[in-house]
Amino acid sequence: MPSNQPDRYGVIGYPVSHSRSPYIHQLFAQQTDQNIQYDLIEVPPGILKAKIQEFMEEGGKGLNITLPHKSVVATYVDDMSARAVTAGAVNTLVFRDDVLYGDNTDGTGLVTDLENNQRFRIKGAKILILGAGGAARGIIGPLLNAHACSIVIANRTFEKAIDLADRFKQLGTVTACEIGALTSEHSFNLIINATSAGLKGGAWLYPPSIVNMDALCYDLSYSEVPTPFMQWTSELGAARSIMGWGMLVEQAAESFFIWREIQPNTKPVLEQLTGKTA
Ligand code: ATR
């Protein structure tokens, strides 16, 4: 291949047309003078493994993996980072010498957004996580590593919250709480929505009493308009309700660093993406 050909990357998901990752990675590439091509690759579950193999054989350098494939890809890889093992999910693939290496940058992306962009101190924080699916599992390890004081997991299906808390209890103070047992006395510094409720609809069961004025309310999902969780927490008086654009850009920056060994500046990219000056 001539040397002026771009190195190829992409994001595999199903569906994937909504993904902003190509835009983000092209901005990183311009900023750092890297010659890359980054494509959207829509792949249904049945042919995922074959498509990854094909992309690798065609000379692709790496891939991002998004919903609904993150957990299953973790079972295909030859080798995996410790944080991908803990998350039970892979969002970044690297191809090196025919070895398929999996990593997970989602949790780091959240931690970086909280600490660098939101100026939130994770160290010592009391955190409430709503939801106990893959999104919740991916962030608990990195939040504990950043020295959160405690994490409470509250989920509609209580058993899933118990399982998740059990999985992490060796790493720190992680407990499960029934939604009905959440009260204002808990007084959390950070409330993270890791449910898919905003996307799927359905009744919202969490009690208003969990929201206090001083808690940072963070929705892992993001959209062009305030999410239902942001609206709910704002109406209840939370001073700061934000969504996951910063996490999206920071996890992308970490993937870019893994692939290119260059740290992009995320601030202007986040500003361009959200149309705001931070
Ligand atoms: P993912 O793995 O991508 O996070 P998931 O496994 O479907 O997706 O998990 C979605 C999470 O959102 C779950 O915690 C789910 O609760 P259940 O475990 O009880 O299914 C939660 N969720 C979805 N809709 C919800 C709603 N309307 N209210 C509260 N929680 C909801």
Cβ within 8 Å of residue 93, ≥6 positions away: 52, 62, 63, 64, 65, 73, 77, 100, 101, 102, 103
Q: Please check the confidence at residue 276 and state whether its pLDDT lies above 90.
A: no
Measured from the CB, is residue 71 less than 6 Å from ligand 1?
Answer: no
Ligand 1 mutation target, pool 106, 139, 156, 177, most atoms within 8 A of CB: 156
**Token duo for residue 197:** 């409720």
Look up tokens 């999206």; give the residue.
248
Q: Whose CA is nearest to atom 7 of ligand 1?
A: 133
Measured from the CB, is residue 134 less than 6 Å from ligand 1?
Answer: yes
Q: How far apart are CA 109 and CA 113, in angstroms?
A: 6
Whether 61 is catalytic: no
Burial class (CB in 10 A: 0-12, 13-18, 19+), 17: exposed
User: From edge to edge, which strands make up the β-sheet containing 92-96?
Assistant: 36-42, 7-13, 62-65, 92-96, 99-103, 79-80
Contact (Cβ atoms closer than 8 angstroms) between residue 179 and residue 155: yes
Look up tokens 């042919």; give the residue.
47
| pLDDT level of residue 115 (50, 70, 90 thresholds) | very high
Q: Please check the confidence at residue 109 and state whether its pLDDT lies above 80.
A: yes
Rg of the chain on CA atoms, in Å? 19
| pLDDT level of residue 98 (50, 70, 90 thresholds) | confident
Q: Are strands 36-42 and 7-13 parallel, antiparallel or unpaired?
A: parallel
Q: Are strands 79-80 and 92-96 parallel, antiparallel or unpaired?
A: unpaired
Q: Which of 146-150, 222-226, 251-255 has the lowest mean pLDDT?
A: 222-226
Q: What is the pLDDT of residue 141?
A: 97
Per the prediction, the chain carries an average pLDDT of: 94
Q: How far apart are CA 191 and CA 199, in angstroms?
A: 18
| pLDDT level of residue 199 (50, 70, 90 thresholds) | low
Distance of CA 55 from the midpoint of ligand 1 (Å): 32
Q: What is the pLDDT of residue 24?
A: 98
Q: Please check the confidence at residue 148 and state whether its pLDDT lies above 90.
A: yes
Q: Which of 49, 51, 61, 70 is catalytic?
A: 70
Measured from the CB, is residue 135 less than 6 Å from ligand 1?
Answer: yes
Helix ranges (H only) for the chain are 21-32, 48-57, 70-73, 82-87, 106-112, 134-145, 158-168, 197-200, 228-235, 245-260, 266-274
Q: Please check the confidence at residue 277 and state whether its pLDDT lies above 90.
A: no
Distance of CA 131 from the midpoint of ligand 1 (Å): 6
Q: Please check the confidence at residue 1 and state whether its pLDDT lies above 60.
A: no
Region for 50 from its dihedrals, namely left if φ exceeds 0, alpha if ψ lies in -120 to 50, beta otherwise: alpha
Q: Please check the confidence at residue 170 and state whether its pLDDT lies above 50.
A: yes
| pLDDT level of residue 46 (50, 70, 90 thresholds) | very high
Measured from the CB, is residue 18 less than 6 Å from ligand 1?
Answer: no
Q: Whose CA is nearest to atom 18 of ligand 1?
A: 157
Span 5-19, pLDDT tens digits: 999 999 999 999 999
Measured from the CB, is residue 133 less than 6 Å from ligand 1?
Answer: yes
Give Cα 23 to chain centroid, integer Å.
17
Q: Whose CA is nearest to atom 16 of ligand 1?
A: 156
